[in-house]
Amino acid sequence: MKNQLHKILFSIVLGFVATLALAEDGYRLWLRYEPVSDASIASDYRKQIGSISSSQSSPTFNLALAELQNGLDGLLGSDRSKKGPSILLGTPAGNPEVAKLDLDLSALGDEGYLLTSVPQKRKHQIVIAANTDQGLLYGVFAFLRHLQTQQPLDGINVASSPKIDHRLLNHWDNLTRTVERTMAGASIWNWFDLPYYVEPYTHDYARACASIGINGTVLTNVNANATVLRPQFLEKVAALADTFRPYGIRVYLTARFSAPVEIDGLETADPLDPAVIKWWTDKIDEIYTYVPDFGGFVVKANSEGQPGPQAYGRDHADGANLLARALAPHGGFVMWRAFVYDFEVKEDRHKQAYTEFTNLDGKFEPNVSIQTKNGAIDFMPREPFHPLFGATPETPHTLELQITQEYLGGDVHLAYLAPMWKETLEADTYARGAGSTVAKVVDGSVFGHELTAIAGVSNVGNERNWTGHPMGAANWYAFGRLAWDHQLSSEQIADEWTRMTFGNEESVVSTTNQILLDSHQTVVDYSMPLGLHHIMYPGHHYGPGPWHDQGRPDWTSIYYHRASEDGIGFDRTASGTDALGQYAPEVVAKWGSPETIEDKYLLWFHHLDWDFKTKSGQTLWNEICLAYQKGVDAVGEMREQWASLEGQVDAQRHARVTALLKRQHEDAAFYRDACLAYFQTFSKRPIPAGVTPPEHDLEYYKNFELYHVPGHPGEQW
């Protein structure tokens, strides 16, 4: 009896251990390397893939080799060497076998790669080749992605190189380890332990970034703290830079413009003052003694209380050039943010950045890029593209996208953002005629700029699954893939991520892809449809607040929706603020009329009567109500779709997504009810059939309070 009890207990323990081993918490992201599930495909792979042939060595090459070995062992098992030809991995300069093949790698540059197969006796040999070890690392990840998504190897011939040179994550991380606008936990930079101890997950972060081609990381918040420029912190920055370097990732910092005053007590931070110029020159020289490949600075200046050159009667070019000249000898560059607006200026906030920076075109040093958000306001759930793109032919732009979902429900709501980013990338500026898309402005092809960059505000924290929501990693992945190749489709990226993250079972893939691809429009519908914007709750930005009317006007909601008894929307046409006039004539012709503009931008540019007839034939009031209801219903459909995958997706991640979708559904209904209850006080029209009326009166929604919302800058210190 006793022995039998021991056997039972032992089997329970074994079962528990097995469950733990099989549990998925999301830590591995899209780099899971689970065995290829299709036996036929696995067999075919093993016939074509054996051992690895290589003869090089460097920190980066060794990472590539280890990754390839690890990936193949996980996907195909360690016995494949007996069944297939070896994989040839190398550069022509480092591997004589690769050199003998005389492959044309001339178009690949320093980061591109070639995946191909060459005849070898009676078989074909897979070759992963590049001009540099960095290219090999990217090529290895691309090859493993090819296998993870179960694509055929026969005749493989993939040559790829990045369209944008500098592909960065911007971490809005504070030195206290709080993270502004991110809900995925604390900062992954453990500043207090650095440089003595580098968290092991720091390597995993770098590996994940390298797997999607990200080659830069800005460690600190744009609302900058000058302390990071002190020697004690530069030692810490150096420890991170040393960790990232083999992965091809350079570190960048945010520069607080008043640092000379705050750190060394200078009387001024005037960018034309000789003492200030010397201070920054010496400081940047010092940084490079710690980090020889330091990338440069991101600067937020004269915006939302941040210090800047205008305090001294100087302009943004004066400020940017001060830093650029000191960085130039070291190969660094400056990303000077265009997110500037002043509530004392009575001009439409939409117009202010364009006004300031077009007047400075041609005045910036060659190593300055204007870092410009996708839209002119502030990462709204949907915005028309920023009019600055295409408007500064002599100055390059760094496109700034927000991966973290500041206005899209944080890490609670499921919102796949590739479709939103593609709207911006594919938008035509007409700067040099039709086809001058934002993507081509940013990649330098419209104006011939050599400095090209794109930045994504990171959604990464120290949550075990990195991004809080199990689906949030899709946006980290999508940003990297689009930064490498902006021509990839949202559908392709979603399909890759789903297969690598959840497996290749077709029902899982098709259902998850559909959820992802519909999710962004769903969030827009239940929060800010038809071009409504900036009607979120003040401060933490989680949830609705269309009634907000306190404080500086351009931080209120009423400034933007302009609801009244005569209608709703912001007139930005020639009869209003004429912000539309900052776009090319072809854009003005399309967006200048409510009859020709797409519904998604309707109220962004037009103030319309509640009874205006929309393209669907509904009145504007009914259209707004139906959009909110559509969004709520769509979340319900997402819940049903996800529920159908129970048993097909691991229990741990399935349960977490299920719980988050339940909350998202309730939040969506709250957003609908609060907004309709408020806007109905102006429309004075009934809620149309098919739309659920608000559950409570308006005062209930106005008085509802959330406390200690993660990522709220008011809670940071």
Residue with tokens 């710690």: 290
* Residue closest to 213 by CA, chosen among 254, 252, 169: 169
Query: Which of 165, 304, 485, 715 is flagged as catalytic?
Result: 304
- Count Cα neighbours of 168 within 13 Å in the Cβ-side half-sphere: 29
Hey, is 456 helix, strand or coil? Answer: strand
CA distance 394 to 449: 8
Q: Please provide the DSSP assignment of 68-131 as one string.
A: HHHHHHHHH-TTGGGTSPPEEEE-TTT-HHHHHHT---TTSTTT-EEEEEEEETTEEEEEEE-S
Tokens representing 244? Answer: 């990232």
What are the beta bridge partners of residue 526?
none
Give the full edge-to-edge strand order of the sheet including 52-53: 52-53, 87-90, 123-129, 113-120, 157-160
CA distance 577 to 424: 23
Q: Please provide the DSSP assignment of 655-682 as one string.
A: HHHHHHHHHHHHHHHHHHHHHHHHHHHH
- 406 labelled catalytic: yes
CA distance 459 to 184: 7
Total Cβ atoms within 10 A of residue 691: 20
Please, what is the Cα angle at 174 between 172 and 178, to 5 degrees? 95
Burial label, 231 (beta-carbon count in 10 A; 0-12, 13-18, 19+): exposed
Radius of gyration of the chain (CA): 27
- 304 labelled catalytic: yes
373 phi, psi to nearest 5 deg: -65, 160
CA distance 604 to 209: 35
Query: Which of 270, 406, 463, 525 is flagged as catalytic?
Result: 406
Query: Which of 24, 315, 318, 378 is flagged as catalytic?
Result: 378
Torsion from C-alpha of 65, 165, 118, 88, nearest 10 degrees: -10
Is the peptide bond preceding residue 195 cis, with omega within 30 degrees of 0? yes
Query: Is the CB of residue 695 less than 8 Å from the CB of residue 205?
Result: no
What is the distance of C-alpha 657 from the center of its chain?
A: 21
Tokens representing 227? Answer: 């302390």
Q: How many helices (H) and strands (E) does the chain have?
A: 22, 13
Catalytic positions, please?
304, 378, 406
